Amino acid sequence: MRTPWGVALSLAVLLWVHESHAAPEAQRSAPPPSPLPPGVSAVLWKLSVPESAAPTPERVALGEKLYNEKRLSLDDSVSCATCHDPAKGFTDHLPVSAGVKGQFGMRNSPTVLNALFNASQFWDGRAASLEDQAKLPILNPVEMAMPSPEAVVAKLKGIPEYVTAFQQVFKRDITYDDLAAAIAAFERTQFSGSARFDRFIHGETKALNESERRGWALFNGKARCNSCHAGNAVSPLFSDQKFHNIGVSAHKQDFPQLAREGLKIVRLGDEKQIDELALQTRFSELGRFLVTKQENDVGAFKTPTLRNVGITGPYMHDGTLATMWDVIDHYNKGGVANPFLDGGMQRLGLTEPEIDDLVAFLFTLTDERFTRLNGQELAKQRARKNKRPERDTAVAMGKKGNLGDLAPNPDLAVKNPADIGAYGTETLPKPASTKQP
């Protein structure tokens, strides 16, 4: 008997999640908070949060204070919140972020929302955990620019309130590891999953309007977004958490030459060197290659979550796409050709009304506590929709170029996936049938 495709998808994602997040055998999971929002998976929580990293109230309070602490930077001007502002969906709404002394890095700030569920951190996955991620920006020369972990600890030891706080929380003197653990604990409380989409997926059909429902169908059909941004009840992030070259930076660099140069530089590179290459040099465009040194990772960056995508622009690893219309235009023409382009890229042939529907759907993935900001960002982006540098309708419609076949048309008879078992089965099990055999 064939396994229903929805069940097969759930099992596949569960296996993937297990492989991506598997904790050491002896490590126990922290119990998830209760109740969790409808779009947050308890299964994913247990796989992502070991007991040793449980976000206790004491660690979270200290971590939030440190998250907003500008004295962690060299000139007391930058904190974690500078680039990951809670009022801006935990981003800064800039193409690339500003550090100390007005310096700018090479990468866009990803949101902290749901970062606790990431299998790896940063656009290139160079940090394995939130703790590892928290340490690097403090030491990066263009971000917070502290010279060493020892210097950070010495600076904090000069602030009596932190000496007392670390003693109360960790029962010992300040350490760099404990600083990172506290910040990570705060970030583990920043999960998000109460979007209008979640109400729709749990049976409130009218939570999405007709345009948004058409966009959902396109997302799973002609637009092929679900190839990399699929979600279900176990992994509702809308990201495969893999790394893909979609051609965003191909127009900037000669990839083969850059890869040859990069391989010589990063062959002996340590974590600090990779971090600096990623933030300060043209080798930033090599993406995942800096970490793995594998040719098929040249120009590849992590698939971001689509949760809260409406309020976390501009988009892509370098922030070069200002609006969701620009993003869809990029995909509509099959990306930008280069020798390392992901094999799944192809022209989509989306019409202008279809692009509008798809964008409308993507804005339904924003947590409802950001409803006002979501509306403001949608209005701002819509005002720019006729100024789209990525739009090339002739390429998108297959009238020029040769980047693969156009995607097939989707079934626009929109189905609620909860009704067919592809999404929502974990939290909304269907009652057993009472029908007699």
Tokens 């126990």 -> residue: 28
Options 143, 276, 377, 390, the catalytic residue = 143
Contacts of 291 (CB under 8 A, 6+ apart): 124, 125, 126, 274, 297
Quick one: tokens of 359? 């964008």
- What whole-number distance in Å separates Cα of residue 118 and Cα of residue 129? 8
Chain centroid to CA 319: 13
Residues 6 or more apart from 123 whose CB is under 8 A from it? 107, 108, 110, 278, 287, 301, 302, 317
d(CA 310, CA 327): 12
> What torsion do the CA atoms of 230, 234, 239, 241 make, to the nearest 10 degrees?
-130
Query: How is residue 246 written in tokens?
Result: 């979609």
Find tokens 């749901």 and name the residue.
114
Amino acid at 221: G
CA dist 423 and 420 (Å) reads 8
Q: Cα 257 from chain centroid?
A: 29
In 291-375, the DSSP E strands lie at 301-302
Query: What is the residue type of 388?
Result: R
Q: What angle do CA 248, 253, 255 make, to 5 degrees?
A: 90
Residues 6+ apart with CB under 8 A from 363: 309, 310, 324, 374, 377, 378
CB count within 10 Å of CB 433 equals: 7
Task: Assess whether 69 carries a catalytic annotation.
Answer: no
First to last CA, the chain: 18
The residues annotated as belonging to the active site are: 143
